[in-house]
């Protein structure tokens, strides 16, 4: 998959294809259905399949106080979309010039002139152009006038409700990372930098990596089973999100214990996939009671990670 950030240098071999425009935050199963249709349309017209996204989210410029916390960062989004089998992905730098384009101008300048699109694939709630004035009906009219095929993909439902990035955010905030994973194409992942902590975990036999500078939504407080990605390897991981009430701390922290890992992680980037919530965060009457619980947490996290890696 080719990643493009500048339409002035758009490769000729990616012109004349099928295009889907959207934020694709999280890259969930609904997005996967859109991409599946996109690829089918691309095959039908004999052209490439192109996903067109934005960075940052347009709302970040228009109404920064309302911007939703992202589920994915740009490179991770590109990685997930690449796995779906598209030929190219545009990560368009959102700026005031883009946001000032009317729907008609956006369609003409970006879709027709730059991409030379011959087909488009969108969901029914697609909006585009200044003030989100363009909707799917307007897009259909514009496509008809330019002889561009438009395929509208119905929303995907799970558990009686639509699969959407906002629904997945709510699940993750509630700590239901397992349910969120069913709607995503891959388990939910965070990234951050490992910083120095109090060192209490190491003193009781369970060293943890304190993860800071996390730029996506954080799961709700609790203990989770996960997989940490470091140095091109995956490690079963028990992750605690929240304060450390046993030691009288009330500051929310993200602490990951990489099961079986013994090296130093300080100053290194670390990514963690969240597979299941193990339990809530709570105080313990003694350090000994905490140690017994941590042993059980690690046993569960190991089992969950083994099931995930055996899939």
Condensed to tens digits (0 to 9), the pLDDT of residues 45-72 reads: 999 999 999 988 777 777 777 778 899 9
Q: 170-179 pLDDT, tens per residue?
A: 999 999 999 9
Mean pLDDT of the residues in the chain? 93
Q: Residue 198 pLDDT > 70, yes or no?
A: no
**Nearest-angstrom CA–CA distance, 39 and 41:** 5
Q: Residue 248 pLDDT > 80, yes or no?
A: no
Residue pair 21/128 in contact by the 8 Å Cβ criterion? yes
| Confidence (pLDDT) at 202 | 67
The CATH class of the 187-309 domain is mainly beta
| Confidence (pLDDT) at 5 | 92
Q: Which fold has domain 2-158?
A: Rossmann fold (3.40.50)
Domain boundaries, the chain: 2-158, 187-309
Looking at 71-75, 93-97, 170-174, 302-306, which range is the least confident one? 93-97
Q: Residue 190 pLDDT > 90, yes or no?
A: yes
Per-residue pLDDT, averaged over 204-231, amounts to: 94
| Identical fold between 2-158 and 187-309 | no
Per-residue pLDDT, averaged over 108-118, amounts to: 97
């Amino acid at each position: 998959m080719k990643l493009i950030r500048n339409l002035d240098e758009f490769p000729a071999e990616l012109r004349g294809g099928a295009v889907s425009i959207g934020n694709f935050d999280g890259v969930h199963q609904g997005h996967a259905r859109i991409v599946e249709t996109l690829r089918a349309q691309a095959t039908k017209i004999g052209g490439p399949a192109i996903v067109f996204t934005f960075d940052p989210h347009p709302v970040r410029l228009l109404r920064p106080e309302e911007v939703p916390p992202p589920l994915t960062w740009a490179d991770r989004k590109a990685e997930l979309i690449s796995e779906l089998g598209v030929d190219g992905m545009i990560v368009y730098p959102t700026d005031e010039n883009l946001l000032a384009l009317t729907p008609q101008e956006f369609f003409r300048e970006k879709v027709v002139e730059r991409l030379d699109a011959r087909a488009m694939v969108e969901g029914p709630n697609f909006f585009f152009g200044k003030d989100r004035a363009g909707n799917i009906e307007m897009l259909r009219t514009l496509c008809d006038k330019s002889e561009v095929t438009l395929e509208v993909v119905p929303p995907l439902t799970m558990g009686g409700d639509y699969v959407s990035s906002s629904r997945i955010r709510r699940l993750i905030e509630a700590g239901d990372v397992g349910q969120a994973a069913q709607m995503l194409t891959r388990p939910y992942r965070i990234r951050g930098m490992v910083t120095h902590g109090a060192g209490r975990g190491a003193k009781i036999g369970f060293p943890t990596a304190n993860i800071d500078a996390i730029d996506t939504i954080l799961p709700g407080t609790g203990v989770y089973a996960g997989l940490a990605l470091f140095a091109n390897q995956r490690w079963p991981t028990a992750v605690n999100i929240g304060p450390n009430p046993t030691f009288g701390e009330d500051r929310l922290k993200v602490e990951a214990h990489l099961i079986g890992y013994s090296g130093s992680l300080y100053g290194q980037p670390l990514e963690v996939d969240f597979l299941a919530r193990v339990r809530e965060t709570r105080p313990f009457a003694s350090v000994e009671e905490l140690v017994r619980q941590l042993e059980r947490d690690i046993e569960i996290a190991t089992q969950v990670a083994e099931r995930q890696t055996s899939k």
